[in-house]
Amino acid sequence: MISIEWIPLNLKLAEEMHGLKRAEDFLDLIDPALYLQLQSALRKTLVGVNAESPVAELDCEFHEGSVWFSVWVAPNYRRKGIGLEAMQYLRRWAKQEGYTRLVGAVEPINTPSRRLMEKAGFTVSAKPDEDDGMLRADLDLTAQ
Ligand SMILES: CC(C)(COP(=O)(O)OP(=O)(O)OC[C@H]1O[C@@H](n2cnc3c(N)ncnc32)[C@H](O)[C@@H]1OP(=O)(O)O)[C@@H](O)C(=O)NCCC(=O)NCCS
């Protein structure tokens, strides 16, 4: 198991994450400086760091009692339990902060993401949402 420390986004980490995502042609690219500016009381990005290198990202938006999130793990670090560790970390943190629900959006063709959510205990909708075409991964924290 790889040891990961989750730390808040800063400009250096944002630039390094941007480089990693660009190398993968990841679609969700935002200019690092702008990305940093977007951080607010309603949005927090954590970077998963291993041996001083960023290897994963956990992006959270807060909506009333819910945390909407997305998770990304660098390609060379996938399938080593980091995605699952990110979900466990988020679950503990959100419950401690008093949030009652975690919500993720999963592309219907994204089998790794869907399987990760199911393994982490989320309920994944069978049909895509009518608004955005994504499956919803839902976890009720009050039932934990
Ligand atoms: C989805 C993603 C975050 C998974 O991260 P990861 O660190 O590789 O996941 P883990 O190693 O913790 O895997 C946990 C479980 O998820 C499932 N899983 C992960 N990758 C999988 C794959 N390629 N195929 C099938 N199942 C997979 C498995 O059930 C796995 O458990 P197992 O290894 O014991 O079989 C990663 O593939 C990723 O960053 N993808 C690109 C970004 C993305 O799609 N994010 C999701 C949007 S919310």
Instruction: Kindly report the pTM of this predicted structure.
Output: 0.95
Distance 83 CA to ligand 1 centre (A): 6
Residue 3 CA to residue 78 CA, distance in Å, equals: 14
Q: What are the boundaries of each domain within the chain?
A: 5-143
> What number does the ligand 1 atom closest to the CA of 84 have?
12
Q: How do the pLDDT tens digits run along the chain, 144 residues long?
A: 789 999 999 999 999 998 898 888 776 677 888 888 888 999 999 999 999 999 999 999 999 999 999 999 999 999 999 999 999 999 999 999 999 999 999 999 999 999 999 999 999 999 999 999 999 999 999 986
Q: Which CATH class is domain 5-143?
A: alpha beta
Residue 71 Cα to ligand 1 midpoint, Å, equals 10
Q: What residues contact 70, with CB distance under 8 A and at least 6 apart?
A: 28, 58, 59, 104, 105
